[in-house]
Amino acid sequence: MTAPLLVVRADASAEVGSGHLIRCLALAQAFRDCGGETVLVTRGTPPPELADHAVRLPAGVSEESEVAQTVALAAERQAAWVAVDGYTLPRGLEEALHQRGLRVLSLDDSGTRRAAYADLVLDQTATTSAYGDAEVLLGPEFVLLRRELRLASVARERGAERVLVTFGGSDPLRLTRPVVERLQERGGFHIRAVVGPHAEALPPLEGVEVIVSAPSMVPHLVWADLAIGAAGSTTWELAFTGTPSVLVRAAENQRAVVDTATSAGVATAAAPDPAAIVDALAALAADRARASLMAENGRRLIDGRGALRVVQILRERAGLDTIDELVFHAARAEDSDLLLRLRNDEQTRRNSLDSGEVPLAAHERWLSASLRSPTRRLYVVHERGAPIGTVRFDQRPGETELSWTVAPEARGRGLGRRLLLAARCMARGRLIATIKRSNEASQRMALSAGFHDLDPSREPATFVLDRP
């Protein structure tokens, strides 16, 4: 059976920033994690995770041609849904998709898209609808967070010294440098500035960590005690991590984000003036009780499951079965008994390169070393709160080896392929899977996930997938 397809139309640029593409990446990840496939249509450079399934519109393409190409692609591929996100996209796009009989999801937080032609509108900032009779998913319950953030360990004791400064992909008001300099003058802060790919370059500043075009914001969000930034997608990511923030409205279409975040008590707002911004940050740093309350409010407001909620609704509206998300939890010492049971399962041993039964003492030594290793990532995968398998990444120079198991009680439901599709998106570069020739089921999974058999004459088989 062909996997349902979600076509996404979104851009990132100096004019519109990166937020539209970031939240569409989160939606695409969740759609894939629930058994679907995605194609991104964009004018710019796609994120690495979506690059292997992306269509780049040629520079200078007219709006008419852009609409025609997007509609033709979605129709030809029989897309279950087309997601449209961006206030600079052609105004006639939703109407053309609708007239072709395609389902349209309009992502909008400014009321600028044409809701009359959307089957569903997603506005993750509003609490009341401004979209007439259109069916609307409203509010932070549907905030789209990327998989890597949802999987990150965000619970920790926070101080008030580490300050993250990030004004998005483009920083249209050019606030990063003057805000950082004001923070330096104030003193007492460890400052990290993340500069987006479309923002003005920031020169080296003494005592300031400057990160340009960060491949992932997650380490920086988790690192920070406090944050300063433009209102947008990052606002909700900071709330999820429990990071109190000072928000600046860099554009009129960010007003709703500021209003919702401040009303919910997860952030405070400041005028786009460096002195006012730093004063607000200093006041927040000095009031630990207020900062702690903001952190609690943020974690309560954003539970990280918004993308899954949206995908389940999309599947329902398309007449597809709802599929529970596969959740990857970093393995812990407490998982020892489960991991040993899965490893010593008869079928697992038969398919393993080392088919011997593993004694408890040897397993505990292996697990302890695995949890300490800087080159190994080990996950227990859950569905509906129950463990259904494991995934392991072993990093080597130039490649990452991927290994997986499916629990005996979870076999026969297509979970292995879904697990592998989700796992392949969690690593970059070359992925390697070493599989016994007799293990035909795992070979089929690898092929269906885009791997190819490097040398069909070799035993064991080596399956390879090169990712951007």
At residue 1, does pLDDT exceed 60? no
Give 272's pLDDT tier (boundaries 50, 70, 90).
very high
Task: Give pLDDT tens digits for 186-238.
Answer: 999 999 999 987 778 888 888 899 998 887 888 899 999 999 999 988 999 99
CATH superfamily of 149-301: Glycogen Phosphorylase B; (3.40.50.2000)
Average pLDDT, integer, range 133-148: 88
Res 253 pLDDT > 90: no
- Laid out side by side, the sheet with 452-453 consists of 326-330, 376-383, 386-396, 399-406, 429-435, 461-467, 452-453
pLDDT of residue 290 exceeding 70: yes
Q: Residue 344 has what pLDDT?
A: 96
* The CATH fold of domain 5-145+305-317: Rossmann fold (3.40.50)
DSSP H stretches of helix in 8-87 = 19-33, 63-76
> Which among 436, 292, 443, 424 is positioned nearest to 355, based on CA atoms?
436
Identify the pLDDT of residue 468: 58
CA distance 283 to 289: 11
pLDDT > 90? residue 147:
no
Indicate the pLDDT class of residue 156, thresholds 50, 70 and 90: low
Residues 89-123: pLDDT tens digits?
998 999 999 999 999 999 987 666 667 789 999 99
The percent of residues in the chain predicted with pLDDT above 70, rounded, is 96
Per-residue pLDDT at 349 exceeds 80 = yes
pLDDT at 419 exceeding the cut of 70? yes
Mean pLDDT to the nearest integer, 69-88: 94
- pLDDT over 60 (residue 139): yes
As a whole number, mean pLDDT of residues 427-450 equals 90
What is the mean pLDDT of the segment spanning 312-339? Answer: 87
Which pLDDT belongs to residue 114?
Answer: 67
> Given this chain, do its domains 5-145+305-317 and 149-301 carry the same CATH topology?
yes
Start-to-end C-alpha separation, the chain: 27
Looking at 3.40.50.620, 3.40.47.10, 3.40.630.30, 1.10.10.10, the CATH number of the domain 326-467 comes to 3.40.630.30
Tell whether the model's pLDDT for residue 461 goes beyond 60: yes
Query: What does the buried/exposed string (b/e) look like for 4-29 if buried means 16 or more CB atoms within 10 Å of the residue's CB?
Result: bbbbbbbbbbeebbbbbbbbbbbbbb
Query: Span 373-395, mean pLDDT?
Result: 93
Instruction: Tell whether the model's pLDDT for residue 51 goes beyond 90.
Output: no
Taking the C-alpha atoms of residue 107 and residue 110, their distance in angstroms, rounded to an integer, is: 10
14-47 pLDDT per residue, tens:
677 778 888 999 999 889 877 788 999 999 888 8
* Per-domain boundaries in the chain: 5-145+305-317, 149-301, 326-467
Asked whether 52 and 467 are in contact (CB, 8 A), the reply is yes
Mean pLDDT for all residues in the chain? 89
Q: Alpha-carbon distance 251 to 60, whole Å?
A: 26
DSSP state of 359: P
